[in-house]
Chains A and B, each alone.
Chain A
Amino acid sequence: MTVIETPIHVSVVADRCAGCQECVIRCPQGALSMDLATWTVVADDDACVGCRQCVRTCPFSAITVEGPLMVSERLDPPLHHSLRLVGSVEETRVGFADLAAAQAEASRCLACPDPTCVRGCPAHNDIPGFVGAIREGDFLLAHEVLRRTSILPDVCSRVCNQSAQCEGACTWSLAGGVPVAIGRLERFVTDQVPVPAPALSERRERSVGIIGAGPAAAGAAWDLLEGGYGVTVYEKDATPGGLPVWGMPDFTLPDDVARRAWRQLEEAGVSLVLNTAVEAEKLEELLEVHDAVVVAVGAGVPMRLGVPGADAQGVIDATSFLKSAKAALEPGGDSDALLERLGVRQGERVLVLGAGNTAMDVARMARRLNLAATCVDWLDERFALARPDELAEARHEGVDVRFSRTLSAIHARDGRAAHAELARTEQSRASRAPSVLLEDHEFLEVSLVVMAMGYRNDPTFTAVLPGTPMRKSAPAIAEERWRASGILANTASEYANHAAVGSVALARESGLWAASLAARERVWVVGDALTGPATVVEAMAQGRRAAAAILDAQPRRPGRINDESSSARVLVCYESEGGKTRAAAETIAGECFASGLDVAISPIDQVGARELAAADVLVIGTWVEGFVVAGVRPARAMRAWLAGLPNLAGRRVALFCTYGVNPRGALDEMARVVSAKGGVVIDRQAFAARNLAPGALEGPDGFAVRVASHLAKEMVVRVAGRS
Chain B
Amino acid sequence: MVLQAEVEGVDSPRPVHLIDPIAVAIRTRRPQRPGSHFEATDPSPGHDVAAHPRVARLLHNRKLQFLLILPNQIIFWLVIGIGLLGTVVPGLNFATAITWYVWFCLVFVMMVVVGRAWCAMCPFGGFGEWVQRHTFWKRTTKSIGLGLKVPEKVGQYGFLLSVGAFLLLTWIEEFFNIAGPGNPASTSFMVLGIVGSALLFFLLFERRSFCRYVCPLTSIIGTVGSMGSVAGFRTRDREVCLSCETKSCMRGDADGYGCPWYTWPGSADSNLTCGLCSECYKACPSDNIGLYVQTPLTSVIAPSRRRADVAWAVALLWGLVVYQQVNALTFFGRIDSWLNAHTNFPQYPNPLDYIGVIALVSVAMAGASRLIQLAVRRRDALVPAGGTSFVDRTSAFRQYFVPLMYGVIPVVGADYFARQLPKFFQHATRVVPAVGHLFGAGSTSSALYNTSIIGSNSGIIAVQVSVVALGTLAAMYASWRIAGRDLAGISTTPRRAQVSAATFALVCGVAAMALYVLMNAAD
A residues contacting B by CB (< 8 A) are: 11-16, 18-22, 24-27, 30, 33-40, 42, 59-62, 64, 111, 113-115, 118-119, 124, 126-129, 148-149, 475-481, 483-484, 509-510, 512-513, 577-579, 605-610, 636-637, 639-641, 643-646
Contacts of A483 in B (CB 8 A): 251
Are B305 and A39 in contact (CB-based, < 8 A)?
yes
> Measured between alpha carbons, how far is A124 from B262 in the docked complex, in Å?
33
Sample (17) of A-B pairs whose CB atoms are under 8 Å apart? A14-B389, A18-B262, A18-B267, A19-B267, A24-B32, A25-B31, A39-B34, A114-B26, A475-B12, A477-B141, A477-B252, A577-B57, A607-B16, A609-B19, A640-B11, A640-B13, A641-B14
Contacts of B307 in A (CB 8 A): 15
> Of A30, A119, A513, A644, which contacts B29 at CB under 8 A?
A30
Contacts of B53 in A (CB 8 A): 578-579
- B455 within 8 Å of A (CB atoms): no
Are B9 and A481 in contact (CB-based, < 8 A)?
no
Are B386 and A13 in contact (CB-based, < 8 A)?
no
List the A residue with the shortest CB-CB distance to B209: A16
> Measured between alpha carbons, how far is A337 from B304 in the docked complex, in Å?
86
Contacts of B22 in A (CB 8 A): 118-119, 124, 126
List the B residue with the shortest CB-CB distance to A478: B15
Query: Which stretch of B241-249, B331-339, B503-511 is in the interface?
Result: B241-249
Are B15 and A606 in contact (CB-based, < 8 A)?
no
Given contacts A475-B13, A640-B13, 19 further A-B contacts (CB under 8 A): A13-B155, A19-B34, A21-B32, A25-B28, A39-B34, A114-B28, A118-B22, A124-B22, A126-B24, A475-B15, A476-B7, A477-B15, A477-B254, A484-B245, A578-B53, A609-B16, A636-B11, A639-B11, A644-B15
Are B17 and A477 in contact (CB-based, < 8 A)?
no
> Measured between alpha carbons, how far is A62 from B54 in the docked complex, in Å?
36
Contacts of A59 in B (CB 8 A): 247, 250-251, 258, 264
Contacts of A481 in B (CB 8 A): 20, 245-246
Interface residues of B in 28-59 (CB under 8 A from A): 28-32, 34-35, 37-38, 53-54, 56-57
Contacts of B16 in A (CB 8 A): 513, 607-609, 641, 644-646
> Of A127, A478, A640, which contacts B25 at CB under 8 A?
A127
Contacts of A13 in B (CB 8 A): 152, 155-156, 389
> Measured between alpha carbons, how far is A87 from B387 in the docked complex, in Å?
68
Chain B interface category by residue count: 35 or more
List the A residue with the shortest CB-CB distance to B242: A21
- B128 within 8 Å of A (CB atoms): no
Are A15 and B389 in contact (CB-based, < 8 A)?
yes
> Measured between alpha carbons, how far is A14 from B389 in the docked complex, in Å?
6
> Measured between alpha carbons, how far is A129 from B263 in the docked complex, in Å?
35
Contact string against A for B residues 354-391, beta-carbon threshold 8 Å, 1 for contact and 0 otherwise: 00000000000000000000000000000010111101
List the B residue with the shortest CB-CB distance to A473: B13
> Measured between alpha carbons, how far is A39 from B391 in the docked complex, in Å?
13
> Measured between alpha carbons, how far is A55 from B251 in the docked complex, in Å?
14
> Measured between alpha carbons, how far is A12 from B389 in the docked complex, in Å?
8
Contacts of B182 in A (CB 8 A): none
Contacts of B392 in A (CB 8 A): 14, 35, 38, 40
Interface residues of B in 372-416 (CB under 8 A from A): 384, 386-389, 391-392
Are B26 and A513 in contact (CB-based, < 8 A)?
no
B residues contacting A by CB (< 8 A) are: 7, 9-22, 24-32, 34-35, 37-38, 53-54, 56-57, 60, 139, 141, 149-150, 152, 155-158, 206, 241-242, 245-248, 250-255, 258-259, 262-264, 266-267, 269, 285, 304-305, 307, 309, 384, 386-389, 391-392
Which 4 pairs across A and B sit closest by C-beta, in order of nearness? A644-B13, A18-B264, A480-B246, A59-B250
Greatest chain B CB density within 10 A among A27, A114, A607 is at: A114
> Measured between alpha carbons, how far is A15 from B10 in the docked complex, in Å?
33
> Measured between alpha carbons, how far is A624 from B334 in the docked complex, in Å?
69
Q: How many A-B residue pairs have CB under 8 A?
A: 210
Are B28 and A479 in contact (CB-based, < 8 A)?
no
Are A480 and B31 in contact (CB-based, < 8 A)?
no
Given contacts A16-B155, A40-B392, contact A27 B29 (CB under 8 A): yes
Given contacts A20-B267, A61-B149, A637-B254, contact A643 B14 (CB under 8 A): yes
Contacts of A24 in B (CB 8 A): 29, 31-32
List the A residue with the shortest CB-CB distance to B250: A59
Are A18 and B263 in contact (CB-based, < 8 A)?
yes
- Give the distance to chain B from A155, nearest Cβ to Cβ, in Å: 21
Given contacts A15-B158, A40-B392, A113-B29, contact A476 B12 (CB under 8 A): yes
Given contacts A40-B392, A113-B27, contact A18 B266 (CB under 8 A): yes
- Give the distance to chain B from A58, nearest Cβ to Cβ, in Å: 9
Contacts of A42 in B (CB 8 A): 387
Contacts of A119 in B (CB 8 A): 22
Greatest chain B CB density within 10 A among A127, A481, A512, A645 is at: A481
Contacts of B388 in A (CB 8 A): 14
Are B309 and A129 in contact (CB-based, < 8 A)?
no
> Measured between alpha carbons, how far is A482 from B297 in the docked complex, in Å?
40
Given contacts A477-B141, A640-B254, contact A40 B387 (CB under 8 A): yes
- Give the distance to chain A from B214, nearest Cβ to Cβ, in Å: 13
Contacts of A64 in B (CB 8 A): 152
Are B32 and A640 in contact (CB-based, < 8 A)?
no
- Give the distance to chain A from B349, nearest Cβ to Cβ, in Å: 31
> Measured between alpha carbons, how far is A636 from B137 in the docked complex, in Å?
13
Contacts of B32 in A (CB 8 A): 21, 24, 33-34, 36
> Measured between alpha carbons, how far is A249 from B322 in the docked complex, in Å?
84
List the A residue with the shortest CB-CB distance to B13: A644
- Give the distance to chain B from A657, nearest Cβ to Cβ, in Å: 16
- Give the distance to chain A from B278, nearest Cβ to Cβ, in Å: 14
Are B251 and A476 in contact (CB-based, < 8 A)?
no
List the A residue with the shortest CB-CB distance to B142: A476
> Measured between alpha carbons, how far is A148 from B248 in the docked complex, in Å?
30
Contacts of A643 in B (CB 8 A): 11-14
> Of A38, A128, A484, A513, which contacts B246 at CB under 8 A?
A484
> Measured between alpha carbons, how far is A39 from B18 in the docked complex, in Å?
30
- Give the distance to chain A from B384, nearest Cβ to Cβ, in Å: 7
- Give the distance to chain A from B329, nearest Cβ to Cβ, in Å: 37
Are A39 and B247 in contact (CB-based, < 8 A)?
no
Are B262 and A60 in contact (CB-based, < 8 A)?
yes
- Give the distance to chain B from A129, nearest Cβ to Cβ, in Å: 6
List the B residue with the shortest CB-CB distance to A126: B25
Contacts of B15 in A (CB 8 A): 475, 477-479, 644
Contacts of A19 in B (CB 8 A): 34, 264, 266-267
Contacts of A33 in B (CB 8 A): 32
Contacts of A636 in B (CB 8 A): 10-11
Are B37 and A14 in contact (CB-based, < 8 A)?
no
Contacts of B258 in A (CB 8 A): 59
- Give the distance to chain B from A55, nearest Cβ to Cβ, in Å: 11
Are B28 and A26 in contact (CB-based, < 8 A)?
yes
Are A39 and B37 in contact (CB-based, < 8 A)?
yes
List the A residue with the shortest CB-CB distance to B266: A20
Given contacts A59-B247, A608-B17, contact A15 B29 (CB under 8 A): no
